Amino acid sequence: FHFAFLAYILLQSFAVMSCDASAIDGMCASSGSITLHKSIVQIAIRFLSHDDVAAAAALSGTNPELVRLISTLVISASILFVIAFHFINKEWHLWRDIKLTTEGLLDQVPDISPMVNLPDLIDTDASNDDDNKGQNSKTTPPKSLVDPANPSLLQCYSPSTLTQLTPVPNLSKSQVDALALRAKNAQLCWKQSTFPQRRRVLRTLQKYVVSHVDQICRLCATDSGK
């Protein structure tokens, strides 16, 4: 894109600055060249002043040579700007950062908090108080992970205190196979997704993790017993 824009500016500048060699008194014989010079200067003045009337008045009665000089300076500055931006962007990836920043500000990702149910936290402060009082807060290890009262659930315990945590479903082989097939089908769709689509998914997960970071860290510490 940068080189295409640069080539366009160069072609326009060569066309603007080309004059008929047989012109009288060193003036360019082509009136279209002067018109193009005036258009470039008018665009520059309009960009700086944001006033169309002032841009038109500034060119009225102006020496064509002065118009040509200002136009050449504008074209040269544009070329230098494009070249500088290209090499700066190549080194520090500014254009990528600008796009990602704009996307983060304007493209709001959905909130998946209502769809995620984190397990309940145990009262770790109460357990610490019991330890400080010399009481043994640890319970007897379970003989089986399967809940005797409900075989469809697995009992979970904290490795450090053996305190019972929230139970999880005791899946059968067919249920595990169904989940694996579901994950396989999801991977087929994922591999066909574009990078912006994947980035949006990751930003959605990031939003949830950042907003629940304390709860997630406490759950991980309790589950691992650390």
Instruction: Classify residue 119 by burial, with Cβ atoms within 10 Å: 0-12, 13-18, 19+.
Output: middle
Alpha carbon 77 to its chain centroid, in Å, reads 31
Across the chain, mean pLDDT equals: 76
The residues with which 13 forms a beta bridge, in sequence order, are none
Question: In percent, how much of the chain has pLDDT > 90?
Answer: 25
- Residue 202: phi, psi to the nearest 5? -65, -35
Mean pLDDT, range 30-40, rounded to an integer: 64
Residue 33 in tokens: 């060249």
Encode pLDDT of 148-196 as tens digits. 888 899 988 888 888 888 888 999 999 999 999 999 999 999 999 999 8
Encode pLDDT of 100-148 as tens digits. 888 888 888 999 999 988 877 655 455 455 544 444 445 566 667 888 8
pLDDT surpasses 60 at 205: yes
At residue 214 the predicted structure's pLDDT band, cuts being 50, 70 and 90, is very high
Cα maximum dimension of the chain = 109
